[in-house]
Amino acid sequence: MNQSTAISGQTAVITGGSRGIGAGIAAKLAEMGAKTVILGRNRSALEAVAEQIHAKQGSCLAMVCDLENLAEVEGVGREIQRRAAAPQILVNCAGVGLPGRPLLECTAADWDRVINTNLRGVFYAIRTFAPAMVEARNGHIINISSIASKNPLPGGAIYAASKWGLNGLSFSLAEELRAHNVRVTVVSPGSVNTEFSAHEGRDLSRMLAPADVAHAVAMLVTQRPQSFISEVVLRPTQKP
């Protein structure tokens, strides 16, 4: 089975699908035949991504969802199952950061904003969508982390903490679910050329692109039955 048919007809949920890496992943999975569902807070941005996917004959359902609200995530989960079937693929890509903000200048509200989206929201999504994967004994959960989960990040301590936490959650969950044939993988890219953060002084042509991360996700969801890739670290071939 090749990449063009391996996930054809499967439902794939992508959080943070309205822009950047999430939008790139949704486009790639739709190109591979998946029924993609993109979640985010900005309806117009979500619909713009869905229209781009539809224009290429792909399947995409755009749904507004606040990942900080468990009841809302669960409600969206029930609607997805009704309209597109339970997902076999979940990509947790939604994320926020506070670039260039030293920790001592951050507030409790800053902490809550980053942790609630980058970590709590991932827990809510997994808690909502993973049980059906366990029941079906088939599924992929891919959590988009960051190089900041491995290296010090001055001016981004809260963001780094959220990604270190995401890695710990992911690796532990992987051990819990592997017996149920559900793979959990962390993808940690270096700087990607998106609007997520400023890239002053960098050669943008040398940076990773959303399509590079999407390519890694495509590889993960087409693994052979006996393989389990627990982590992918992506770096550009040349430093920007």
Q: State the catalytic residue, choosing from 91, 92, 159, 213.
A: 159
List Cβ neighbours of 142 (8 Å cut-off, separation of 6 or more). 89, 90, 91, 92, 184, 185, 186, 187, 217, 220, 221
Place of tokens 């997520």: 196
Local structure of 69: helix, strand or coil: coil
CA dist 61 and 46 (Å) reads 9
Sign of CA dihedral 72, 77, 78, 83: positive
- What does the block give as tokens for 229? 């890739």
Strand segments (E) across the chain: 11-15, 35-40, 59-64, 89-92, 139-144, 182-189, 231-234
| Residue 124 annotated in active site | no
Q: How far are the Cα atoms of 20, 86, 171 from residue 40, in angstroms, in the given order?
A: 12, 19, 25
Dihedrals φ, ψ of 39, to 5°? -115, 145
CA dist 225 and 209 (Å) reads 29
Among 230, 220, 219, residue whose Cα is nearest residue 172: 230
Q: Catalytic positions, please?
A: 159
